[in-house]
Structure 1
Amino acid sequence: MTADPPFFNQLYDLLVARKTSSPETSYVARLHRQGIDKILQKVGEEAVETILAAKNGEVQSMIHETADLWFHTLVMLAHLNLHPDRIVDELIRRHRAAGRDEGEGIA
C-alpha cells in the first residue's frame, strides 16, 4: 500500500468538520474544545512515543505511533486552520532549493 495524498486532504477536511461536532461523541471535537494546549500536549506525547519505538527498533509500534503522531499533527493544523498543502508546498520548495542551498534544502 502506498501513501495517498488525497486521503490526507479528506482526513483534514473531516478534522475541520469535527470542530462543530459534539464533544460527547467525537474525540476530535473534545480535543478542539479543550484547545490548542491539549492538542499540543497530544502531539508531544505521540512524538515521544514515536521516538521510543524507533529507538527500540519496534517496527509495528513505529507504524502505530507515527500514525498517531501524524493524526494529532493534522488535528493541530485543523485547529489552527492551516491546510496540510501549505506544509507540502514548503517541502517542495526546500526540495527544489536543495541544489542551490545545501543548508536549507532536502538532499
Structure 2
Amino acid sequence: MTKKPSIKTPVKAPSKASTKAAPKSSPKKAAPAKKSVKAKEILEDTLSQSADETVLDRLYQVVLSRKGTDPSLSHSARLLSRGTYKVAQKFGEEAVECLIEAVAGRKDLLVGESADVLYHLIVLWVDAGVAPEDVWAELRRREGTSGIAEKASRPKENLSKKG
C-alpha cells in the first residue's frame, strides 16, 4: 500500500508542472506522447512475442545451451542429465497439472502451468533433438487445414496397426 501513494505522488507532480508551463509543455507533450506510443508498441510487441515462436525460440536456445553443463547449476541441465524417461515423465506431470487447473477453472494458475508445460516440452525437444523450426514448419503446413482434413490425410498404416 505504501507503494501506491508514492507512485501517485510523482504522477501528480509532473502533471502540475506541465499545466503551469503550457507553452513549454507542448513540445514536451509531443515527446511523452511518442514515448507512450512507443511504450505501448513495445508492450504490444512483447505481448505478441509471447504468442509467437520468438520467445519459445529464445527459451529453446537457453535450454540447448544448458545441455551437458553442470546439473548443480541449471535446472535444465539437471533434467537433461537424468535421461529421456525422466524428461518425459516431468513433461507429463506438468501437463496433468495444467489440465487440473483448466478443469478447476483457475485461469491464473492455468497460465503458470501452461508456461511450465511449454518449458518442459522444450526440454523434451532438446533431449530428442527436435528443433523448434521443425515444429513451426509443421504448424505452418497444417495452417488453414481443418483438423478433420489433417487427420484424414495422415497415413492409414498407423491406424491399421492398432486394429
Per-residue deviation, 1:84: 1.4
* Equivalent in the alignment of 2:43: none
* Equivalent in the alignment of 1:90: 138
Match of residue 103, structure 1, among 141, 149, 154: 149
- Higher percent of residues as helix: 2
Inter-partner Cα distance in structure 2 for 1:97 and 1:60 = 31
Runs of 4+ with deviation above 6 angstroms: none
Matches within 5 A, 1:1-107: 1-2=47-48, 3-98=51-146, 102-104=148-150
Inter-partner Cα distance in structure 1 for 2:106 and 2:143 = 30
Inter-partner Cα distance in structure 2 for 1:68 and 1:60 = 13
Contact 2:68/2:81, CA 8 A, preserved across alignment? no
Per-residue deviation, 1:97: 3.4
Aligned residue type for 1:103: A
Cα-Cα RMSD: 1.6
Inter-partner Cα distance in structure 2 for 1:62 and 1:24 = 29
Inter-partner Cα distance in structure 1 for 2:142 and 2:60 = 23
Q: Deviations over 1:47-74 (max 9, x none)?
A: 1000010000001110000000000000
Q: Which runs of 5 or more structure 1 residues have no equivalent in the other structure?
A: none
Q: Which runs of 5 or more structure 2 residues have no equivalent in the other structure?
A: 1-46, 152-163
Rg comparison, structure with higher value = 2
Which protein has greater RCO, CA pairs closer than 8 Å, 6+ apart?
Answer: 1
Aligned residue type for 1:82: V
Secondary structure of the 1:104 match is helix
TM-score (norm 2): 0.59
Inter-partner Cα distance in structure 2 for 1:27 and 1:71 = 11
Per-residue deviation, 1:22: 0.5
**Are the structure 2 counterparts of residues 4 and 102 from structure 1 closer, same or farther at C-alpha, using a change threshold of 3 Å?**
closer
Inter-partner Cα distance in structure 2 for 1:85 and 1:26 = 24
TM-score (norm 1): 0.87
Inter-partner Cα distance in structure 1 for 2:57 and 2:86 = 23
